């Protein structure tokens, strides 16, 4: 399944929301606050969702043409999982592999926290997403 397919799936969830955020570092905290509010009462490991979302948002703000512009976040959940999708304005730079230095491990962290994740560059931007199962849902 492509990242664009994941985007369409999230938008079709019965419980989904979308918000546009400014491409600033403050957006990382703003997205976390927004997700806490939206997912209040949803049986999911909120810490995992917030860390994974923070990594994708940081990539959008620091490593894409959304820096200083804006990016979108779509969150949805069904009876099995929460899915978060971040859409940015595409390649400025891919996060470097820093070989032990701080930074450059965001997508690795997301892949360790989520049951599924991915990213794709398309004609006008980039989509990154992850899925985390609800607590009590078989993985």
Residue with tokens 């997301």: 110
pLDDT per position in the chain (139 positions), as tens? 566 566 656 666 778 899 999 999 999 999 999 999 999 999 999 999 999 999 999 999 998 889 889 999 999 999 999 999 999 998 765 555 554 555 567 788 999 999 999 988 888 889 999 999 999 855 5
Q: Is residue 138 part of a domain?
A: no
Q: What are the residues facing 22 on neighbouring strands?
A: 70
What tokens does 127 get?
């989509």
pLDDT value, residue 124:
82
Is 72 contained in some domain? Answer: yes
Q: What is the pLDDT of residue 8?
A: 57
Please list, in sequence order, all residues whose beta carbon lies within 8 angstroms of the beta carbon of residue 96, skipping any fewer than 6 positions away: 103, 104
Answer whether 39's CB lies under 8 Å from 75's CB. yes
pLDDT the model gives residue 94:
53
Note the pLDDT of residue 1.
54
Q: What is the CATH number of the domain that holds 67?
A: 3.30.565.10
Note whether residue 28 is domain-resident. yes
Structural domain that includes position 28: 3-97+106-133
Encoded tokens for 66: 């959304």
113 part of a folded domain? yes
- Based on the structure, what is the number of domains in the chain? 1
């Amino acid at each position: 399944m492509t990242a664009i397919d994941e985007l369409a799936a999230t938008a079709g969830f019965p419980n989904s929301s979308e918000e546009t955020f400014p491409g600033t570092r403050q957006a990382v905290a703003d997205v976390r606050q927004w997700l806490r509010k939206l997912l209040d009462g949803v049986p999911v490991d909120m810490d995992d969702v917030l860390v994974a979302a923070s990594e994708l948002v940081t990539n959008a703000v620091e490593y894409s043409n959304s820096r200083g512009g804006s990016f979108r976040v779509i969150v949805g959940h069904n009876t099995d999982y929460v899915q978060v999708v971040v859409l940015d304005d595409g390649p400025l730079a891919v996060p470097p592999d820093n070989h032990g230095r701080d930074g450059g491990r965001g997508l690795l962290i997301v892949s360790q926290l989520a049951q599924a994740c991915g990213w794709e560059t398309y004609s006008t931007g980039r989509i990154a997403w992850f899925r985390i199962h609800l607590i009590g849902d078989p993985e």
